[in-house]
Structure 1
């Protein structure tokens, strides 16, 4: 009798992010919004200035300017909940990731270079639809302040692109 597949679930959940989505959120020049809420469910939001995805795609880190993100950072520290939205300005393709284990971390080696690549890609994306570099710079400037990472395991992913599929959960990557 051939071996039967195990019915025991794996200890590590499969990532809802496939390779194409990982590339989309890290290199496509998307607008990044990061939200959380405190214990009283009052929402907070800030702008992300880049993203890192772990090689196995099980962990995502979004970069934020600490001074501009105090409420979100406090909420993440309090509740560990996060929602990150990645939207491409030229066509409104949008992905939302949610996590329940978010932590605030220092940047890792290579993150500053990721942020600079993000700035270039985001500036090019906005330039293609008529916005100049001064506008982009104002949107995602750190002002020389501290930048931190909010790392989380995506537990849910949703297509938020306007249209008939908006709000639908994405299937797990295969």
Structure 2
């Protein structure tokens, strides 16, 4: 299977930068939410984003109905951004093992957002989620784009062998 994401892209996603998840319904109305955490497999073939289910009902309904998924990963300090898309995602309950991912993401986001002037308490409040309100979306990226502002924004990333 060709790879869309280079080791550099995988490292960027796993660095704990901001992640915004989006989809749309059958009438093309968008829904989006900030991810409470994210991770990508070392080979770049499986991305998991975590959402508060109580705040994500429209987005989750769109995914359950077979809607596509798009996630933008963006570093607040540099605006270096990557968008990945897939025709759909699998929703699963969060597990106790996911808590380590969420803790790493929180610490990384506190560092990233701290670079633009927001303190760790702000980020902790923004990413606070009771474990029983957490859901995971898993998907394999089918398309990826450079979304860093500038002349290459929107450029598709080439597949790799």
**Alignment correspondent of 2:33:** 46
**Alignment correspondent of 1:16:** 4
1:72-103 CA distance string (max 9 Å, x none): 11111112410000000000000000001311
Structure 1, gaps ≥5 residues long: 1-12
TM-score (norm 2): 0.92
**Alignment correspondent of 1:76:** 63
Corresponding residue to 2:105 among 118, 126, 147: 118
Corresponding residue to 1:25 among 5, 8, 13: 13
TM-score (norm 1): 0.86
Residues 44 and 72, structure 1, Cα contact 8 Å, conserved in 2: yes
TM-superposed deviation, 1:49: 1.6
Aligned partners of 2:156 and 2:95: how far apart in 1? 30
TM-superposed deviation, 1:145: 4.3
1:13-64 CA distance string (max 9 Å, x none): 312112221111112x311100001111100000112212234321211111
Q: Quick check: which has more Rg, 1 or 2?
A: 1
After superposition, the CA RMSD in angstroms is: 1.6
Structure 2, gaps ≥5 residues long: none
Per mean C-alpha deviation after superposition, the further-off stretch among 133-142 and 68-77 is 133-142
Aligned partners of 2:34 and 2:111: how far apart in 1? 18
Aligned partners of 1:145 and 1:166: how far apart in 2? 37
- Give the length in aligned residue pairs: 161
**Alignment correspondent of 2:75:** 88
**Alignment correspondent of 2:133:** 146
Residues 94 and 161, structure 1, Cα contact 8 Å, conserved in 2: yes
Per mean C-alpha deviation after superposition, the further-off stretch among 139-148 and 13-22 is 139-148
